[in-house]
Structure 1
Amino acid sequence: MTHHATFRIASTHTAARVPIIDEILSTVRRHLDMPLAYLAVFDSGDVVYRAVSTDRRAPYFEAGDRRPAKGSYCLAVRDGRLPQMLADTRMNPVAMSLPATVMLPVGAYVAVPLLMADGTAYGVFCCMSHDPMPNLSERDLAIVTNFAQLLADAIGSGVKADQDGRDMRQQIEDVIIDRDFTLLLQPIVALHSNAVVGAEALCRFRPTPYRNPDTWFADARKIGMQRELERAVILKTLDRLEDLPRALTLSINVSPDMMIHGNLPAMIDGPNSDRIVLELTEHNYFDSMTDLQTQIKHLRRMGAKIAVDDLSAAHSSLSTVLQIKPDFVKLDSELVRGIHMDPASQALTAGIVHFAKAINADVIAEGVERVQEAESLHKLGVKFGQGYFLGRPGGMNALQARMYQI
């Protein structure tokens, strides 16, 4: 996968969320009788001062200030070019070469890297004195080290979470830019004739290790990118519509958030909009039913049809269907599995079929994997089905070949 450079400001505010940090900095600074203590983290070639404690006798820097890491005490200590404690900076050529030694000035310091569980240094806990302090001892270093470990334990998991979030964002950005996913088409079949009447577009993401689509969209939701990822998948799916045989509809999975806020009418506008079926997923999770209904009316005026995915007997699910009044309701595969041997599932399905007729909707059964299931569903009044028995997901050629298997 191509890695694309993007302008990103890393989330380095983790430390600010932990009130104990200011107390630790002040306690250690006063114990060492030094005028300055700070916690700094590394971010994209910079040092960001997340917390600062001073004796107010001189202006230093403030929490939130960002400086280049190059030439800093933090980087020199992290990289091992400076020791973690120096009682007199005049005795060390590296210390004397750093601008801060003269500018602050720095006569002595104790600085301990903050380590993540894997040993990576993500920051430095540092105390500084303007003057040399010949009485600094290993005991002082041990105290700072212990408090540094306390800080690491307090914020280390948050820093890792921030880094994981940045990595996740970069990966999703790359997938969107590269369109690094493939689309499979699964036939939707009329159970009475075995004829293909449509296809559902199923997304498969290419990056390794393989993760299922639900995981990708859940990750995108965590970092506020679900809409962008959905838009990329929908646009690529719409590219396939012109290649699809004219007699077939194309079903596209859409979240309520995308339905309400994603400007779908502009995306599907065109001569083939009447061949599009928008399958509403996660239909129990949305902000406003009124907004959802408004968008659905707009989409229907363009000829698009609406389906509700994975219908169950749950009150919230049925309530949503009553308010949306979709063109199709899709039976959950859990209800379909083994239905020919389960009178209870048959009774529930018959009830859903009756319910669908009352709202002028047709029923599509998902997960049909046996001929007996297909026959049972047909007898119960289910018009359409999809599943491995009726046709596996595949490319356009596989779909066209399935159309002739009647």
Structure 2
Amino acid sequence: MPRSVPLAERLRQSSEQPPKWHLDVVHHCLKLTWGHIPGWRPASGRGSGTGSMGGPTDEADISGSLKRILEVIRRHLGMEVAYISEFIGSRAVFRAVDAPGLEAMIKVGDSVSLDDVYCRHILAGRLPEFIPDTSSEPVAMALPITRNLPIGKHLSVPLKLRNGNVYGMFCCLGPQPDHTLHARDLQTMKAFAELAALDIEQALTVQRTFDAKRDRVRKAIDEHEISIVYQPIWHVATGRPIGLECLSRFSALPLRPPNEWIAEAAETGLGVELEMAAIKLAMSSLPSFPPEAYLAVNASPATILSPELSETLATLPVERIVVELTEHEMVESYNEIIATLQPFRTRGLRLAVDDAGTGYSSLQHILYLRPDLIKLDMNLTRSIDLDPSRRALASALVKFARETNARIIAKAWRQTPS
């Protein structure tokens, strides 16, 4: 009796509730399955595939939305394995899999050579989409995978996108022939494949949008389409500038406000790289300003915690630098930020918190981080001379700053001539 028979017998028992196999049975599966197919490659982690799904719609994400479709059709057909593959070059990459109890055999992200599976033969018409008994198909029997798994029944239809391209295959298979399968089962499977193709089409649209955003940000960084303007910070009593805030500007297309570029960079995983490019550019002009003037640079929590910022600060006169915590991201750990900045603050680096008086998060930053500078938001300072409520809140923050040895910076403050 072939070694595959015990496995096949166990597979037949897993129609609705897969049995809890013992470890020796799992090892048996591994010996008989994809690992013995020439050219088979295991998954190397989430998002590691070589296909088009490398960003927000990587294989783990897309498999989550399609697995329910696979489970329904697998149960309906009485199959043991159902999967969706994507064709990438000469390989089929598994993007969604439903194979209860057989996770050691096949999982999302694995790939196999198209020369070793049925896909190309089905697309070329050498094999039918509907195979209730593989022993009746010489082409199928000539493929080692038919014996190694084994495959006794096989239904597979191409996943076609609206542009006519074939994305991959929608496939169900089992170890034993099943002559109760009917041509109408293939029609049912095609209907489910159409649903899956719609889901994939939406995922690809999201991916293309993501890629376009990332490419725009990458171009802005690589082609140095970032510039810095220096906004002076004035001492009210002396009327002299004591520092300058470094503000990023973008010449890249599309022309839009800096906050939109920064948000898009964060969304596409380039936030730290973009901010560091701006910070390094701003710091390159530090020697051009009077030694008593400081430069203030904006940094998100992720950038503050990055090794790139620490490495840059280690080479600079930090007593002339203010790091201003931005509001683009939530602070997940104040303790980490405190610990990261503490060596530099000991050497004279100052920390600023922006938009004080406009929200709960800025007040949290003030309480937990004990900043050296507290910047009052322009919505608080605008028309403060005419609004008692604004004056009361600003006065409270001024008192807080005085008691914690911090200084106040009022944004967008204007003195109206009398």
Interval of TM-score (by shorter of Structure 1 and Structure 2): 0.5 to 0.7
Q: Distance in 1 between matches of 2:381 and 2:121?
A: 64
2:332 is paired with a residue whose SS is coil
Partners of 1:116 and 1:76 lie apart in 2 by 20
CA–CA separation in structure 2 for the residues paired with 1:231 and 1:206: 17
Look up the match of 1:197: 242
Equivalent residues of 2:158, 2:167 under 8 A apart? yes
Provide the rounded CA distance (Å) in 2 between the counterparts of 1:299 and 1:186.
24
CA contact (8 A) 2:116 2:144 kept: no
1:336 matched to which residue of 2?
Answer: 381
User: What is the CA distance between 1:115 and its match in structure 2?
Assistant: 5.1
Can you list the C-alpha shifts for 1:225-280, whole angstroms capped at 9, x where unaligned? Answer: 43333333322222222233444321100123332344634312346322211111
Q: Secondary structure at the match of 2:195?
A: helix
CA distance in 1 between counterparts of 2:187 and 2:324 reads 61
Partner of 1:272: 317
Q: Which has the higher contact order (CA 8 A, sep 6+)?
A: 1
SS of 2:305's equivalent?
A: helix
1:48 and 2:96 matched? no
Q: Are positions 1:288 and 2:328 aligned together?
A: no
Distance across 1 between alignment mates of 2:319 and 2:80: 72
Contact 1:15 1:21 in 2 (8 A): no
Pairwise CA distance, 1:48: 0.6
User: Which residue, out of 41, 46, 61, partners 1:14?
Assistant: 61
**Inter-partner Cα distance in structure 1 for 2:140 and 2:212:** 33
Query: Is 1:40–1:48's contact at 8 Å kept on the other side of the alignment?
Result: yes
Q: 1:23 aligns with which of 60, 71, 81?
A: 71
Q: Match of 1:62?
A: 106
Alignment of 1:110-149 (within 5 A): 111-114=156-159, 121-126=166-171, 142-149=187-194
Aligned to 2:29: none
Write the letter of the residue equivalent to 2:379.
Answer: E
Q: Which structure 1 residue ranges, 5 or more long, are not aligned?
A: 1-6, 89-95, 380-406
TM-score scaled to structure 2, two decimals? 0.65
- Which TM-score applies when normalising by structure 1? 0.67
Name the residue aligned to 1:327. Answer: 372
1:356 has 2:401 as partner = yes
Query: Residue type matched to 1:374 in 2?
Result: R
Out of 234, 252, 255, the residue aligned to residue 300 of structure 2 is 255
Q: Which residue of 1 aligns with 2:283?
A: 238
Q: Which residue of 2 aligns with 1:388?
A: none
Residues 1:375 and 2:415 aligned together: yes
Q: Is the 8 A contact 1:238 1:268 kept in 2?
A: no
> Comparing 249-258 with 295-304, which one deviates more in the overlay?
295-304
RMSD, aligned CA: 4.6
Match of 2:3 in 1: none
- 1:206 CA drift (Å): 4.2
Q: Which amino acid aligns with 1:287?
A: E
1:375 aligned partner, one-letter code? Q
Compared with structure 1, are the counterparts of its residues 207 and 103 closer, same or farther at alpha carbon in structure 2 (3 Å cutoff)? farther
The answer on whether the counterparts of 2:296 and 2:323 sit within 8 Å (CA) in structure 1 is yes
Deviation at 1:116, TM superposition (A): 5.7
Please report how far the alpha carbon of residue 330 of structure 1 lies from its aligned counterpart in structure 2 after TM superposition: 0.8
1:299 aligned partner: 344
Give the direction of change, closer, same or farther, for the CA distance of 1:138–1:244 in structure 2 (3 Å limit).
farther
Contact 2:127–2:140 (8 Å) recurs in 1: no
- C-alpha displacement of 1:310: 0.9
What are the ranges of 5 or more consecutive residues in structure 2 without an aligned counterpart?
1-46, 132-137
Offset at residue 339 of structure 1 (A):
2.9
Evaluate the alpha carbon distance shift between residue 75 and residue 199 of structure 1 in structure 2; reply closer, same or farther with a 3 A threshold. farther
Distance across 1 between alignment mates of 2:186 and 2:212: 34
Equivalent residue letter for 2:97: A
Q: Quick one: distance in 2 between partners of 1:162 and 1:40? A: 17
Contact 2:300/2:329 (CA < 8 Å) preserved in 1?
no
Task: Name the CA distance, whole Å, in 2 between partners of 1:348 and 1:40.
Answer: 60
Change (3 A) 1:269 1:14: closer
Counterpart amino acid of 2:327? E
- Say whether the 8 Å CA contact 1:39–1:52 is kept in structure 2: no
- Asked if 2 retains the 8 angstrom alpha-carbon contact of 1:165 and 1:223, the reply is yes
Q: Is the 8 A contact 2:234 2:242 kept in 1?
A: yes
**Whole-angstrom CA distance in 2 between matches of 1:44 and 1:188:** 57
CA contact (8 A) 1:14 1:159 kept: no
How many residue pairs get aligned? The number is 351
Distance across 1 between alignment mates of 2:221 and 2:363:
34
Judged with a 3 Å threshold, the aligned counterparts in structure 2 of structure 1 residues 262 and 218 are, in CA distance, closer, same or farther, namely farther
Amino acid of the structure 1 residue aligned with 2:196: L
Q: Which moved more, 1:288-297 or 1:272-281?
A: 288-297
Q: What's the CA shift for 1:37?
A: 5.5
The superposition leaves residues 369-402 of structure 1 with CA deviations (integer Å, 9 ceiling, x where unpaired) of: xxxx5126x99xxxxxxxxxxxxxxxxxxxxxxx
Taking the aligned partners of 2:311 and 2:347, their CA distance within structure 1 comes to 10
Distance across 2 between alignment mates of 1:112 and 1:361: 68
Give, in angstroms, the shift of residue 363 of structure 1: 1.8
Work out the CA distance in 2 between the residues paired with 1:172 and 1:44. 28
Sort the Cα spacing of 1:101 and 1:86 in 2 relative to 1 into closer, same or farther, 3 A.
Answer: farther
User: CA 1:256 to 1:108, structure 2 compared with 1: closer, same or farther past 3 Å?
Assistant: closer
CA distance in 2, matches of 1:305, 1:313: 22
Paired with 1:40 and 1:284, the residues of 2 have a C-alpha distance of 36
